[in-house]
Amino acid sequence: MPDDSMTLAESIDPDLANVALRGLLGTPKTLPATLFYDEEGCRLFYRITELPEYYLTRTELALLAEIAPLLVGPTAGLIEYGASDETKASILLDQTSASGRPAFAAYVPIDVAESALMAMAARLARARPALKVWPVVGDFLRPVALPAALDGLARLGFFPGSTIGNLDPAQARLFLAQARRTLGTGARMLVGVDLRKDAALLIPAYDDAAGVTAAFNLNILARLNREAGADFDLDGFAHRATWNAEESRIEMHLVSRRAQTVRIEDHAIRFAPGETIHTENSYKHTPEAFRAIATGAGWRAERMWTDSARLFSLHLLSG
């Protein structure tokens, strides 16, 4: 029987500890935003999408419902990057051609969260038996091989949620260029992009009154305690969201409330009072800035739609 200390040691993920240490031993201190999305982080993110201050999700859903009929063309396959549930894709999958045929015959959701992906595939198999669903488990930032289920179909790539805003402009261009190569000649791609706007609207979306975003940000430290053997005192850090106008991005930080030392493996990480860990960037692009990124990646910017308050945009690109 393993004793308690062995059980704890076995529960520590050395890769996660290394990823965290790489960011925490640098100056300024950082942690990659990808670490947000453990099970608890996914649950908190879902709550964020329902917050009154977080206008992104509901605005994109309404816009998508409005423009979806305009995307119907030859029978297509839908390839979604970072697909944690089918809510947004369903709006597209519901579309039919003038002859009443489904506009999409195949759906390829790509995501790292294997259990969520498989649960979604099972739901879709029940709800849409005629649809070929081909989940691909993997990091959508890496090249993926598309399944044969897409052979002979037109292709629509789909990257909703303004997740592209969590990449810096150079990474966003590389991602879009790679997606263009994956999807092939003649493909189109629909990208959800949050628009640059007044900081008075942006800040509350990332620092809500109920404190859900603060819990989401702090969960990254709780996760490192749980999975990487760190000893962060969660009361020793505060959530901060700032608008960086020059870079056109919201930044999320965790601010050390006092001088303190945190241990991960055999490293001691010292924090000065007020020192921060930079955990996330969320770029807010003007339509022109996003078009420049997309065309720099080799796409043609075919069309863009926004809601009447110009909060959010959907860009249709063609290859």
Site residues for ligand AVI per CB under 6 A: 48, 56, 161-163, 165-166, 206, 213, 280, 282
Helix (H) or strand (E) holding 79, with range, is strand 76-81
Asked if 73 and 101 touch (Cβ cutoff 8 Å), the reply is no
Angstrom distance (rounded) from CA 229 to CA 100: 56
Q: By C-beta, is 55 or 232 nearer to ligand AVI?
A: 55
Nearest approach, Cβ of residue 315 and ligand AVI (Å): 15
Q: By C-beta, is 12 or 199 nearer to ligand AVI?
A: 199
Nearest approach, Cβ of residue 197 and ligand AVI (Å): 13
DSSP states of 172-240: HHHHHHHHHHHH-TT-EEEEEEEBP--HHHHHHHHS-TT-HHHHHHHHHHHHHHHHH-----GGGEEEE
Q: By C-beta, is 55 or 107 nearer to ligand AVI?
A: 55
Q: By C-beta, is 163 or 276 nearer to ligand AVI?
A: 163
DSSP 8-state symbol, 146: P
Angstrom distance (rounded) from CA 314 to CA 190: 7
CA-CA distances (angstroms) from residue 120 to 34, 108, 124, 170?
21, 11, 6, 32
Q: By C-beta, is 76 or 120 nearer to ligand AVI?
A: 120
Nearest approach, Cβ of residue 32 and ligand AVI (Å): 13
Nearest approach, Cβ of residue 312 and ligand AVI (Å): 11
Nearest approach, Cβ of residue 254 and ligand AVI (Å): 13
Nearest approach, Cβ of residue 280 and ligand AVI (Å): 6
Q: By C-beta, is 48 or 156 nearer to ligand AVI?
A: 48
Nearest approach, Cβ of residue 89 and ligand AVI (Å): 16
Q: By C-beta, is 75 or 87 nearer to ligand AVI?
A: 87
DSSP states of 94-125: T-B-TTS-BSEEEEEEEES-HHHHHHHHHHHH
Q: Which residue is nearest to ligand AVI (CB)?
A: 282
Q: By C-beta, is 80 or 280 nearer to ligand AVI?
A: 280
CA-CA distances (angstroms) from residue 310 to 22, 64, 239, 303?
39, 14, 28, 15
Nearest approach, Cβ of residue 213 and ligand AVI (Å): 5
Counts of helices then strands in the chain (DSSP H, E): 10, 14
Collect all residues with Cβ–Cβ distance below 8 Å to 60 and sequence separation of at least 6: 88, 160, 161, 162, 192, 312, 314
CA-CA distances (angstroms) from residue 129 to 8, 133, 138, 244?
44, 9, 24, 47
